Chains A and B, each alone.
Chain A
Amino acid sequence: MSRTGTPVITSRFLRVWNRNFTVYRKTWKVSFLPPLLEPLLYLAAFGLGMSALVGNVSWREHSTSYVVFITPALLAVNMMYNSFFETTYGSFVRMYYQKTFDAMLATPLFLEEIITGEIIWGATKSVIASSIMLAIISLFGLIRYPEGLLLVPLSFLAGLAFASIGMYFTAVVRNIDLFNLPIFLFITPMFLFSGTFFPLDTLPDWAQALAYCLPLTHLVEINRTIGIGPFDVTALWNLLYLALFSAILFPLALIKMRKRLIK
């Protein structure tokens, strides 16, 4: 991979994770609110406002209320946003403006450990955000338990997938404004068309096929399987998709970052 040999990622990446966690604890009062309030706003708008228009929706041949239908999807969106935005804007600021990675590179840390620490931190942000949200929506009885507890470990895997692709974009964009491009072309379409706000089978076949290429579609389906039920074997395929997505994007992000930073 480089003249200095193949990268070996040691547990030192946890130091990088811990650095970000230290900063997070310092600013938690500010960073706590968006993941808490934003999904609640969506829930209020779509759940209260829209459900009067929509009535009940069919999910796996069962009729469910619209609020119950969109709650797992909003959780999925929350997982995506919190990990993706951490490794795009968050990591970019640390890399480009604060030169944090440069400082770390002058310590025993190697670049692959720094980037791994950042991606794992991004996944952690997804866990933190979805745990907060889960706690709140559980008060309204919108998620079934004990199955709902599986959403916590799942939010880590989901976070890993979206943090990895976020880091990939961070490695390739020239400046911070260019993040608008992946947000406009990738994140927003997923937010709207991943079966989040309406069942996918209302879409034409080609659009459904397209939706199944996107990671959020799979995450939404797993979340619904867990949060509403019943269990279906497709959830395992959804899970496999997310695992594969991470397994490909994670090393790709490391390679691109090395290309960008090691000169």
Chain B
Amino acid sequence: MEAVVQADALRKAFGAFTAVDGISFSVRRGECFGILGPNGAGKTSTIRMIYGFSPLSGGSLHVLGQDVTSRRQLRKVKYRIGVCQQDNNLDPELSILQNLEVFASYFDVPRPDATVRALELLKFIALENRRDTPIAELSGGLMRRVVLARALINEPDLLILDEPTTGLDPQSRHQIWERLEGLRARGISILLTTHYMEEASRLCDRLIIMDHGKILVEGRPQELIREHAGKDIIEVGEPGEELRSFLRERNLRFDDLGHRLLIYCDERDQLYREVSERYCRDGCTLRTATLEDVFLKLTGRELRE
């Protein structure tokens, strides 16, 4: 199957700093592909090259079968992708409808068609009753929905989303997720960056986790969890020394965070009973392993930026 994005040894450097350090990956048609990583991992630099904002420093990059280093081919790509950038960079003086119409004109969509499409998209983001509201009067969550609608105005083959829900309240976030799931069901290819693990597990078919410009792992969310965090996790608060030596004796995988222990386990009930009866002084919980466990395990727990 033809890949919608094919990156080979892709590199981006800003002076002496290498933001993307020779990464290779491909996004298949119709899938939702995630790029995860802490701040400064190189996510945004990567997708900026994909939508033609930044020139490559090295490697090769094909989007929708076109070589983006050729200006002529890049123009073709730009017609067929929709991009939702991190900022809500709408035209604040214009109404919601006008924002979509003006944006459609950049894609050569004739005016009557643009209005029809814009109204359809307003229905899709449930803002059809507010078509004449100026952007400046919208909340952050509503603006994000308009940015999403705007990215769809050219009926793109590939939708690129750079942290689509950062800074939104849970209600708005779920609104965006529902829309994106709807789009995925229609078969549109989606490439998204995020640092919300819940978002990635819910939306992505496959993902990569990046750090310091390199790809750490690639795979399906569930596979990555099973491979790197196991099935379940027992969290123990204020663990005692006896527990640590017990775990070492039994050769069990665990992370020691000082005031908290994470025990990765596959044979949940028996171990949990044993640990909670014998070693839990300050409460312990058994929970399913998540992508966040994988993420923190691979990228470390120290603060970034």
Contact = CB atoms under 8 A, between A and B. Distances in A.
Interface of A: 2-8, 12, 15, 18-19, 22-23, 26-27, 98-100, 102-110, 262-263
A12 B79 CA distance: 13
Nearest to A22: B102
A3 B78 contact: no
A95 to B, nearest CB: 11
A226 B42 CA distance: 59
A32 B102 CA distance: 22
Nearest to B101: A22
Contacts of B299: none
Contacts of B94: 22-23, 26
Given A4-B69, A23-B94, A105 B53 contact: yes
18 contacts: A3-B69, A4-B68, A6-B71, A18-B102, A23-B94, A26-B93, A98-B89, A98-B92, A99-B89, A102-B85, A104-B106, A106-B53, A107-B78, A107-B103, A108-B79, A108-B107, A110-B75, A263-B14
Given A104-B106, A106-B81, 11 more contacts: A3-B69, A5-B72, A8-B71, A18-B102, A18-B105, A19-B91, A22-B98, A100-B91, A103-B90, A106-B78, A108-B106
B245 interface: no
A3 B75 CA distance: 14
B83 interface: yes
A3 B106 contact: no
Interface of B: 14, 51-56, 68-72, 74-75, 78-79, 81, 83, 85, 87, 89-94, 98, 102-103, 105-108, 154
Given A23-B94, A26-B94, A99-B87, A15 B106 contact: yes
Given A3-B56, A108-B78, A108-B79, A103 B93 contact: no
B71 A110 contact: yes
Given A4-B70, A23-B94, A109 B89 contact: no
B107 A107 contact: yes
Of residues B55, B105, B154, which shows the largest number of chain A Cβ atoms within 10 Å of its Cβ? B105
Nearest to B103: A107
Contacts of A27: 93
Of residues A4, A7, A26, which shows the largest number of chain B Cβ atoms within 10 Å of its Cβ? A4
Contacts of A102: 53, 85, 87, 89
A263 B54 contact: yes
A257 to B, nearest CB: 14
B105 A262 contact: no
A12 B105 CA distance: 9
B89 A100 contact: yes
Nearest to A26: B93
Contacts of A7: 71
Contacts of A19: 91, 102, 105
Nearest to B81: A106
Contacts of A100: 89, 91
A108 B267 CA distance: 55
B131 to A, nearest CB: 15
Contacts of B106: 12, 15, 104, 107-109
Given A3-B69, A18-B105, A110-B71, A105 B52 contact: yes
Nearest to A6: B71
A108 B83 CA distance: 11
